[in-house]
Structure formats: structure tokens, C-alpha cells
């Protein structure tokens, strides 16, 4: 077994070691850094030996490797799931892709938890269970480079949102723009529509939009964000027998700094800029 000092460094790969147990010979946690005590927590997983996780792909920074479940090898939420699996004595993460509106509406079944940058809301809590929040969320405003859109005039432009998200609800019910709002089934289609001039601005989770100015080579830029006083949570099926134990694992990942380190490794590189330095808009601007 490797030394304890080597285990503490979270940037090692899953094949190294842990602080309280040994890695199973058949375990596969992709390229994720693994830490903690294997088997400290006890779940009743849907699939023996695996943690079944629903998400919505693609999600760079969060789920890295490709657009299909089999291609995912790293990322903030994937590695969060890998650490949950490891600490629960499970050998792998079984990734399942599903449309975001289905995940948050309680229409999808047969999974242990969902990790898809899901903002905890009272409406969603009626049809599903949630973990403690593991990351704060704000809503960012993405526009084409060279355009002059800010909090004072955003109500007068064509806005695109992701279907079934808190961004869609925020724009339609609080921002209330003067032009029709267009909802998109996935993020890439929405950003492509922005680039082609079919819409003028995108309002969506800041932590998701931050990756696009880098990927789209400066054709789009993030100009502002709205505070929501909300956070992301893991979603469980309603009445999940694993909720209490999963809550304990996630709280431990928060308290011991694991998620902070994962954020630095995966989200920091995906963001390309400090989200704290993005200007904050208010709903009252331009009203």
C-alpha cells in the first residue's frame, strides 16, 4: 500500500491507494482521484457493485471524455460519484444519460442518484429527494462577442434558455423580457443558435456557460450573472432508501475538502476565468 501522504494528495489517480482500505482489483473509477475509506458507508445500490448515476450529456468540466456514458472518464460530478462509490464499497460508476427535464420531473426511474448541475427548488422537491447543496449556483448571461447587451437592455433582446431549467423559469417569470423566449433541449444547440444570430443572449447556469468562451474561440462571451441564492444538489428518487447514507457521504466530501479540490482540478480548467469577477446584474435594471 502506498504511503498515507501520497493518498492525501487528491490529484493522484484511482489506482494509488486510500486511507482506510484497499482498492478492489476489479474497481474502475476512470481517471478520478480517489480518497477516503473504502466501504465506510453502506448503500443498497440498484446494480450490485455499482453506483447508478443519471446525468445529461454533454457536460464539459462536469463529465469529461465525450457525449456517451461509456466515454466518460473524469470531471467534477463524475469524480464526485466515483468517490461516493469508493467510500460506499462499490467498484464503479454506471453512467446513464437522460434528458434534463425528465431527470428533474421525476419521470426517470431505476437509478441511485442524479448529478446534472441540478438546482434545488421547492417544485422539484415535490417529485424527488435532494442531498445537501454541494455547490452554489448563479445564472450567467452569454452573448455574441461584439454585441452590447447588459442588465439594462437584456429585456429587449431575444433570449434562449435550456428547457426545464431554473434559467427558463427565471427568465419567463422574473426577468419577463419583451420578446418571445426560446427553449432548447440541450446546451450545444442553444449556444449554436446564439452564434448563428437566431437568439441574442443565453441565460443559463454560470458554471455551465463559463466553458463556452474558451471552446468557441472568442465568438461568445459571458457578460454578467444573476444571483439566485440557490445551490446544486444530488437528486434521489422519491422515497429513496439510500437518502440518509448518501447525504452522509456527500456531507463528508464537502467537509473534508474533496469537492473543493475537484472544483479546482476540473471546473477551474473548464472555466478559464474567475466567476467571482463576472459583473452581477439585477432584475430591477432597466425596469
* Per-residue pLDDT reduced to its tens digit, 254-275: 999 999 999 888 887 777 777 7
How far, in Å, CA of 119 to CA of 184, rounded?
A: 18
* Per-residue pLDDT reduced to its tens digit, 110-167: 999 999 999 999 999 999 999 999 998 899 999 999 999 999 999 999 999 999 999 9
* Per-residue pLDDT reduced to its tens digit, 179-219: 999 999 999 999 999 999 999 999 999 988 988 887 766 69
Side-chain half-sphere exposure of 267, counting CA atoms within 13 A: 21
Q: Please say if the pLDDT value at position 8 is more than 80.
A: no
CA distances from 266 to 148, 168, 261, 279 (A): 31, 26, 9, 23
Amino acid at each position: 500500500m502506498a504511503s498515507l501522504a501520497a493518498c492525501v494528495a487528491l490529484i493522484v489517480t484511482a489506482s494509488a491507494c486510500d486511507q482506510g482500505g484497499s482498492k478492489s482489483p476489479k474497481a474502475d473509477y476512470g481517471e478520478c482521484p480517489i480518497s477516503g475509506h473504502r466501504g465506510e458507508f453502506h448503500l443498497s445500490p440498484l446494480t450490485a457493485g455499482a453506483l447508478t448515476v443519471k446525468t445529461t450529456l454533454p457536460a464539459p468540466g462536469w463529465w469529461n471524455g465525450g457525449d456517451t456514458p461509456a466515454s466518460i472518464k473524469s470531471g467534477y460530478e463524475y469524480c464526485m460519484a466515483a468517490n461516493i462509490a469508493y467510500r460506499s464499497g462499490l467498484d464503479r460508476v454506471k453512467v446513464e444519460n437522460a434528458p434534463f427535464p425528465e431527470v428533474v420531473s421525476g419521470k426517470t426511474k431505476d437509478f441511485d442518484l442524479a448529478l446534472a448541475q441540478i438546482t434545488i427548488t421547492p417544485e422539484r422537491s415535490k417529485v424527488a429527494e435532494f442531498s445537501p447543496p454541494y455547490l452554489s449556483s448563479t445564472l450567467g448571461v452569454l452573448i455574441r462577442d461584439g454585441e452590447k447587451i447588459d442588465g439594462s437592455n437584456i429585456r429587449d433582446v431575444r433570449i434562449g434558455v435550456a428547457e426545464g431549467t431554473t434559467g427558463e423559469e427565471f427568465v419567463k417569470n422574473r426577468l419577463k423580457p419583451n420578446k418571445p423566449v426560446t427553449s432548447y433541449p440541450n446546451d450545444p444547440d442553444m449556444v449554436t443558435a446564439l452564434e448563428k444570430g437566431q437568439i441574442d443572449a443565453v441565460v443559463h447556469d454560470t458554471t455551465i456557460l463559463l466553458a463556452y468562451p474558451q471552446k468557441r474561440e472568442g465568438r461568445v462571451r459571458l457578460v454578467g450573472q444573476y444571483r439566485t441564492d440557490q445551490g446544486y444538489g444530488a437528486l434521489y428518487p422519491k422515497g429513496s432508501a439510500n437518502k440518509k447514507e448518501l447525504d452522509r457521504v456527500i456531507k463528508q466530501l464537502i467537509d473534508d475538502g474533496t469537492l473543493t479540490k475537484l472544483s479546482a482540478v476540473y471546473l477551474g480548467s473548464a472555466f478559464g476565468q474567475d466567476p467571482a469577477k463576472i459583473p452581477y446584474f439585477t432584475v430591477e435594471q432597466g425596469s
